[in-house]
A and B are shown apart, each in its own frame.
Chain A
């Protein structure tokens, strides 16, 4: 199987699984299973961070190694049941999304060991607190209907049960994939591609592939720095792709390659090294201007434990935070490739380049 279809199949598996913020276990297990053969050691911490540790030649020779982390968050947005109303279930959001996409959406309610299907519906105007004529029905008035009658529903579902999107991935005719949680499983796939390519390279530094948790809600990725104390960090996330709804400077075309973050959140010398490497290898990239704060894992990671030189590589994605996000496989593979090439070139003197004075 070539890398491309291996990664495509892996990604489709990942976005078929739930992994809501704070409840990442299903997806973390699937990633761990895949990273096991690509790394020397797998760890999962008490708050759910996933570490795939691949030792470099320095470690293997008993020298004190340098360490780079590649951090991609595993969690996705979802919902949680917050009350019953007859046969209907009300829910609260976990993470941020536009409630206008919800009516008609099929979902899965995770109750203990059982998974119960349901559909999000908007009720008839006379059943709502306000008819909302020509207006979207707000999230707190949308409900889930499971088709179960009240008595059975109350036995099988509890307030506090987590809800995820039910739709399965679709391969679009060219190289694009559509589905939910591509933010940010696509980046997990890119990191996996890096690990695959690194099997063919010798690399001096230790590499830790990291699946972070709760990026969509309260951010926990600074805990990764506390655990691993890396010399360098690259956060991998998605960014807005040009397309319906996005046509300004914030959008990058699909298939235009990895987008490299510029701004206060990133160490300029690390960014410069990444940029010049991609230029010299002929890997197409775009520049993602994030003037103050990036709102990604790059931010807590850069700030943690006295500071870590951090870069952000983003993959363009359409329809972010909907269940039909669209992404180009080529962008994912190129992102993975760029990081593998970068890591292969890290030597024991690399940190001498990461300085501020020009």
Chain B
């Protein structure tokens, strides 16, 4: 097929998509308690899918059948869950001890507002007044052991075992998207768009997975049950692209805002199939979409579980870069999100078994 035939109208991010991202970002969905996010997605995708089901683990699975036989079976997975808290013990009236769920730096906890449980009851994580702490104390980390979630005196109807999230509300500001849980509601929003406009030559399994933040536990079940020919994982990845204190060249930025979707070469759990990486790079180049190779190194995505399922599944991960993931506020660029959507759209249009004509 000549290159110019591949040129097509690629999607853009409009108000409609941003409004949906806002709803997703503001919803509570800690690992193990994704119901609220699942409900939003289910409503959004049901008209566009041939089937929608929630599996044993709580993953939301939508199928879009291909027109014609022997179609390529593509899995696209985006995790719904976010990092957060669970109330585990009552100290006194309205004051609770809590545990962290997922990787949260203790130093990002104190002085934040939280929302507790299905009803989004407000609470705060306080800290000792500066007047009453010593200089030595202020040089130590505020450890989780010493922090409490406070829902205020008189609040007696909170159940132990309730989940809580940072209370940050989403905003689109200038070129940026600002909010909590953009890791990975950005991926979720992207997958919803892809499902709505899925090309007819592939069979698509769209999986909104659970429990990624505690070890890709939902994705393992999805890969085992659906056994696709290949898989794309949509996630969000840290950008640490700011200048260093001495203005030395920053060699460990992981990803950079504004440089487009981050294609993974290697993370802690996956060494990506170079045939998939090449396919994505070629697709981006042919369609004039900017991209970056995420710096190889730590971290992991649902790909870690998916690519090792049964006798193996070729898998790629594409992330929207974002600063300050796993804190109360994350910042990403709208342009990176749009280019991620465009890259995936173009990839779905041209994906075929030809990617694997050479041995890995």
Contact = CB atoms under 8 A, between A and B. Distances in A.
The reply, when asked whether chain A contacts chain B directly with Cβ atoms under 8 A, is: yes
Contacts of A352: none
A246 interface: no
A149 B119 CA distance: 72
Contacts of A128: none
Interface in A340-358: 354-358
Query: Secondary structure of the A side of the interface?
Result: loop
Contact of B214 (A293, A302, A307, A356): A293
Nearest to A271: B161
Given A264-B31, A264-B214, A289-B161, A249 B97 contact: yes
Contact of B101 (A262, A292, A306): A292
A4 interface: no
Query: Secondary structure of the B side of the interface?
Result: mixed
A65 to B, nearest CB: 19
Contacts of A358: 35
Interface stretch (B62-70, B219-227, B347-355): B219-227
A287 B86 contact: no
A62 interface: no
Interface in B208-224: 210-211, 214-215, 217, 220-221, 224
Given A262-B161, A292-B101, A356 B35 contact: yes
B45 interface: no
A306 B161 contact: no
B323 interface: no
Contacts of A289: 86, 88, 99, 160-161
B200 interface: no
Contact of B56 (A262, A287, A308): A308
A306 B56 contact: yes
A355 B54 contact: yes
B99 A307 contact: no
Contacts of B86: 263, 289, 291
B67 to A, nearest CB: 28
Contacts of B221: 303, 306-307
Contacts of A357: 35, 38-39, 42, 54
Contacts of A356: 35, 38, 54, 58
A228 interface: no
3 nearest interchain CB pairs?
Answer: A264-B32, A249-B89, A307-B56
